[in-house]
């Protein structure tokens, strides 16, 4: 019977939910705050997160811009000293979308 109005939809919609920058930032900030007194453990988890972010990007679940921003932040946290790590945690600008590292003029 072709008159039935509740036919099944044959076209499946892919269930892709992209993670936004704020979600990724909150996850990174949680890692850092949980391990504020253990920077080495935080760095280990950040390194693991970097790999996860790259995998999510390959699957199309995070954008190129979000990945770039998270890699910049992760790299900054991995390179800093323990004292700088605490300062970065307190820097509110670091945790805002669109943050970029300060450029130093090395051509002088």
The domain in which residue 63 lies consists of 21-95
Residue 106 belongs to a domain: no
Residue 25 lies in a domain: yes
Whether 11 is covered by a domain: the verdict is no
Counting the structural domains of the chain, the total is 1
Instruction: Tell me if 105 is assigned to some domain.
Output: no
Three-state DSSP at 45 gives helix
Contact criterion met (CB below 8 Å) for 67 and 22 = no
For residue 1, CA distances in Å to 8, 9, 27 come to: 14, 16, 52
Condensed to tens digits (0 to 9), the pLDDT of residues 31-78 reads: 999 999 999 999 999 999 999 999 999 998 899 999 999 999 999 999
**pLDDT at 13 > cutoff 80:** no
Per-residue model confidence (pLDDT) at position 102? 79
Token pair in block for residue 60:
């199309």
The winner for highest mean pLDDT among 4-13, 23-32, 93-102 is 23-32
CA–CA distance, 19 with 62 (Å, rounded to integer): 5
pTM more than 0.85: no
Instruction: Decide if 2 is inside a domain.
Output: no
């Amino acid at each position: 019977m072709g008159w039935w109005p509740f036919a099944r939809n044959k076209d499946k919609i892919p269930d892709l939910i992209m993670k936004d920058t704020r979600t990724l930032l909150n996850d990174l900030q949680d890692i850092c705050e949980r391990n504020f007194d253990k920077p080495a453990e935080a760095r280990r988890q950040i390194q693991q997160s970097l790999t996860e972010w790259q995998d999510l990007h390959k699957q199309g679940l995070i954008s190129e811009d979000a990945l770039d921003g998270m890699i910049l932040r992760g790299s900054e946290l991995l390179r800093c000293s323990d004292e700088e790590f605490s300062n970065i945690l307190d820097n509110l600008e670091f945790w805002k979308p669109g943050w970029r590292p300060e450029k130093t003029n090395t051509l002088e």
